[in-house]
């Protein structure tokens, strides 16, 4: 027990390093928070030789990291935009009308180099050559609305 009191900060630092290395295997950020608590215990051991105090500080720091830091890190690392594939990726793209879209009959638009059957959303007539924006895709039909600006951006 005397050895532990004489090398308390080194022991805590060793535990912290071991936990941080073990985190590389789990990648769950749980062991990393415990390693942070062990480092706090190591810093406390530099100030005091009381083992109980260092254990309490290390435990409190680990719990605080687990409750306060880990959830935000997990949300940031595992969250993000959803990957949209297929026709749904065309929503928001711009195209040009190649066959007129009448109020009650579909026409055709060119979106991203492909010709799509199109209906106006909201129902209205859209003339040939007019720029449109894709509102949604239902099956093989693009629901489009006219775009008021004159410059047609490059379709995505």
Bridge partners for 3 per DSSP: none
The pLDDT of residue 149 is 56
In tens digits, the chain (156 residues) has pLDDT values of 677 778 899 999 999 999 999 999 998 999 999 999 999 999 999 999 899 999 999 999 999 999 999 999 998 888 777 777 888 888 999 999 999 998 788 999 999 889 999 999 888 889 999 999 999 999 889 999 998 754 444 444
Question: What's the predicted TM-score (pTM) here?
Answer: 0.54
Q: Are residues 74 and 6 in the same domain?
A: yes
Q: What residues make up the domain containing 132?
A: 86-146
Q: Are residues 73 and 8 in the same domain?
A: yes
Q: Are residues 65 and 38 in the same domain?
A: yes
Q: 39-73 b/e with 16+ CB inside 10 Å = b?
A: bbbbbbbeeeeeeeebeebbeebbeebbeeebeee
| 95 occurs within a structural domain | yes
The pLDDT of residue 156 is 47
Q: Are residues 69 and 31 in the same domain?
A: yes
Q: Are residues 73 and 94 in the same domain?
A: no
Tokens (6 digits) for 76: 């940031």
| 153 occurs within a structural domain | no
Bridge partners for 147 per DSSP: none
Q: Are residues 39 and 7 in the same domain?
A: yes
């Amino acid at each position: 027990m005397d050895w532990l009191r004489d090398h308390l900060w080194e022991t805590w630092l060793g535990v912290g390093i071991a936990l941080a290395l073990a985190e590389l295997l789990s990648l769950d950020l749980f062991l990393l928070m415990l390693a942070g608590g062990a480092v706090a215990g190591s810093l406390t051991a530099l100030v005091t030789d009381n083992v109980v105090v260092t254990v309490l500080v290390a435990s409190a720091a680990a719990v605080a990291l687990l409750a306060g830091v880990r959830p935000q890190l997990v949300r940031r690392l595992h969250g993000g935009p959803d990957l949209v594939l297929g026709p749904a990726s065309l929503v928001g793209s711009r195209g040009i009308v190649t066959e007129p879209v009448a109020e009650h009959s579909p026409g055709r638009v060119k979106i991203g180099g492909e010709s799509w059957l199109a209906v106006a959303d909201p129902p209205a007539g859209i003339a040939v050559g007019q720029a449109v924006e894709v509102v949604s895709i239902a099956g093989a039909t693009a629901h489009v609305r006219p775009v008021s600006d004159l410059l047609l951006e490059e379709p995505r």
